[in-house]
Amino acid sequence: MERVDVLVIGAGPVGALTAALMAQAGVRVMVIEAGEPQILSAPASDGRAIALALSAKRSLDVGGFWTHLSPFAEAILDIQVTDGNAPVLLHYDHRHVGDNPFGWIVENEEIKSAALKRLKELGIAVKSSTIVESWEFTASAAKATLSNGERIEAGLVVAADGRPSPTRQAAGIKIKGWDYGQSAIVCAIGHEKPHNNVAYEHFLPSGPFAILPMTATQTGYRSGIVWTEKRHLGTAIMAQEDAYFLGELSEKVGDFLGQITLAGPRFAYPLTFQMAERTIDSRLALVGDAAHGMHPIAGQGLNLGIRDAAALAQVVVEGARLGQDVGGTAVLERYQRWRRFDTGMMMGVTDGLNHLFSNRNPLLTAARDIGLLAVAHCPPAKRLFSRHAMGVVGDLPRPLQGLPL
C-alpha cells in the first residue's frame, strides 16, 4: 500500500492548484483522475470563458500556473453594467482602485491544460483513467482501493471531483440546492472593432447577458458570450441554425463591436444552485464544485474554488510544519471555519442578484436602477464593490495575496 500525506480526487484546476500549493511546500501529494490521459493533455473547448479575479491570478501565479496561462489571458480594465435597454448605469474603471486589472478572461480549456502541465512539472503522480472503488477510514488514515487494483493510504483526502462528487456522496454529505430553470448559452465571437478590455453585463428579464474581452487571434478580435435564458427558450435558441442564432445574438450584442461572427462552437449549460451541508468529514475536505455550485451572474465560480484551494493548502502546510495530523480535526475545522463566511456570502449574493434582476416586476426594476445609480455616484461604495470583485477583501490566505506558503 502506497502512502502519501494528501490524496486529491480530481485533476481539474481547483484540485490541481490544491495539490501544487501543497507539494511546493513539501507535502507528499497524489492525484486521482477519472479522465483519460489524452483528454487531460488536450482538453476540448467547452465554450466557457472564465473570469479570474486578481486574487485568483495571484494564487495561480504562486502555484506556478500563470506562466502557462498568461499568453491566453486578456485583462479586464473596465466593467459596464446596464439594466434592460437603459443606458449604462454603472461603470467601473480599474484605475479607481489601483494599477491592477479587475481580472482576466481565460478560456476554460487553457486553464485545464495549464493545470496538468504544472502537475507534471512538480512531479506529482497523477493516476488517470482511475476512480476510487471503495474507502476505509480509520483513526490514523484514509485508505482507498482504486479501480486499477492499487491501494493508497493518505492522511487527508481532498474531494475536487466536481458537482456530482462521488467522494462527497460516499462520505454521506448532503447538499441543498435548486434549479433556476435557466440555461447559460456560451460561445466565442469574432468582431471588427476592438473590445478595449471592457466587460459588459446587461441585466435582462430572462437573466444576465455578458460580453467578456478575450485575447485576439490571427483572425481578429474576440469576445466571450454568456447568454442566460429561460430553459425552454435556451433549448429553442440552441436548435437554430448558425445564421439564425447569429442574427439573434447580434441584436443582443448591438453594433458597438461592428459585425460579429461565431468564433467556435456554442454550448448550453443548465443553471443550478447547490451547497454542501458541510465541507469536512473524517479525513476529508471538499473544495470547488464538490463543495458549492453557483449561478454565473457574478463570474465567481472558479474564483471561489481557488480560494478554497488556497485556504486548505495553507492550513495543511502550517499544520504539517507544526507536527499536526494533516487530516485531523484541528486542521480540518480551521479550514471549514475560514471558508464558511466567504462561501455563504458569495452564494447568497449571486442567488439574490439573479432573483433581483431576472424578472419584469416594475417596482423591482425601479428599485434596482435607483440602487445602481446610487452606487455609481458614491465613489467609496464603487471602490468597495470593486475590491470585493477582485477578491482582495477579508482574511486572505497567503497565495491569494501573492505570497508563497
The DSSP output letter for 27 is -
Asked if residue 303 lies in contact with residue 59, where contact means CB atoms within 8 angstroms, the answer is no
Contact criterion met (CB below 8 Å) for 140 and 47: no
Q: Give me the chain's average pLDDT, please.
A: 93
- Tell me the H-state helices in 47-152: 54-62, 66-69, 108-121
Q: pLDDT for 38-61, tens place per residue?
A: 888 888 899 999 999 999 999 999
Dig out the grid coordinates for 19 from the structure: 495539490
> Which stretches of the chain drop beneath a pLDDT of 50?
none
Model pTM? 0.94
Which CA distances in Å does 220 have to 163, 189, 194, 272?
A: 36, 10, 9, 34
Cell of 104: 482576466
Instruction: Please state, as a whole number, how many other Cβ atoms lie within 10 Å of the Cβ of residue 226.
Output: 23
Spatial distance between the Cα atoms of 51 and 210, rounded to a whole number of angstroms: 11
CB 302 within 8 A of CB 53: no
In this structure, is the dihedral angle defined by the CA atoms of residues 188, 193, 196 and 201, taken in order, positive or negative?
negative
Rounded to whole angstroms, the Cα distance separating 178 from 365 reads: 24
Q: What is the architecture of the domain spanning 2-74+104-177+273-359+394-401?
A: 3-Layer(bba) Sandwich (3.50)
- Give the per-residue pLDDT at 256: 95
- Output the pLDDT for position 266: 96
